[in-house]
Structure 1
């Protein structure tokens, strides 16, 4: 089609050229050249417009696809939220019904609540009484410690230790104050020391106590003594007999026990540690029967 147009234009030009002047011919040639240039420019612009149209179509297709995907996701979220709203509505109705039930308290229920509150108040008072009793017991223990320290005050503090731990009074007496080395035979100072302790204990007739013998970890080699168990028991019973026979303490208040080397105060690997572990301990026992009586009366 285009070639036919060019042919006709050429034939027309020849016809014109054959009957026009050279000047006119040049003008026509110039117009032809201008028209040809305009035509080519229009063709290029047409191609650009086609490319732009194709690009826009591709972008529109991608945009439509993206919007479709997002729409589907939003619809899914809306469906989930609708289910949640329905569940919450149902749950809310259930809670409202329960609240309605709770808002009606019968006379029997009110009486039961009152009794529960009264019981809580009684328990609270009971706990306060127990705390007061424990505080009084601690005060008595501290008074006992002060009396013991006052009675034994002129003896070497390093050889006698008196303390309160978890409501129990402990009196630790070094073995060198009471016994000869490796023996359960008492020293000359033993009765002096035990006499001071006995005086305080005699003034507290309701107190029960346990006398414990403790040794270090060195095996015993003395005649008539089997091992550290044997030595610790014999030392404890020796002290108990002195307190009973010499100072008149009621034997029902006393217990003798041997602990051997198994409850050390210090490391048996050093001379100082072994010396600390060789001791007689008097344990002032808590009055559990009185405490249990208190529990019974307060219930």
Structure 2
């Protein structure tokens, strides 16, 4: 397949366990949007939190993507190997006076909706371990942006508070790592679940501060259980199947969850044919923003 350098997308799972139906929908939506545009599609393993990432989970995820025909471009990026890039970026932000060390614990500010910024001018307790927070009150970043599904968004990062960029235990936080890596991989389009929509203001603030291009954003409808909970590893969403016939059926269900209206006979086609149909028929304007409910125990039947 010939790829257009004008589009670079990515799928960036946390290897805290195998992929489930919700993560399949996110991966498939990202893959189809890239391939329908003739673009490149990358995989990034977001393994910056080792206690949450059991050994071998990353390999499991890659094999699952292969079984579902979701072939990526280039080499897989691992965030656990990116410490130097994150450290350099934090140093740049410190020089820009956009970050500060913070000794406060969540327990201390539990009566506030967001962290009150007590350490902005000086660390409250220098004897305690310190995280690094982003100053959400600084940075020339327009508050308004447009999501390709959810439309015009107008959210001030300051209303969300000063997010942690490096934790007290020294581990890097998602907000910093994702911006650095999207920049390093020249990502033009971010396609992900709507549960990450409210992370976007912080990421845009960082992109502007660091002089990085701002990707286009498409936040996909959430996949929820019959009780309305987000389908996730935490609520025991079952891992994706390995049997070819179940994979074919589940791919069609994922296309239905993305409102792509696959024909009934597509369930009998092989995975390559299913994906070829899906790429050629991909329509963002068919997506509906409302959550898609699935029966957790039957999502793979």
Question: What TM-score, normalized by structure 2, do the two folds share?
Answer: 0.25
Higher alpha-carbon Rg: 1
Please state which structure has a larger fraction of its residues in helix.
1
TM-score, normalization by structure 1: 0.25
Greater strand share, 1 or 2? 2
**Looking at both structures, which has the greater relative contact order when contacts are Cα pairs under 8 Å and sequence separation is at least 6?**
2
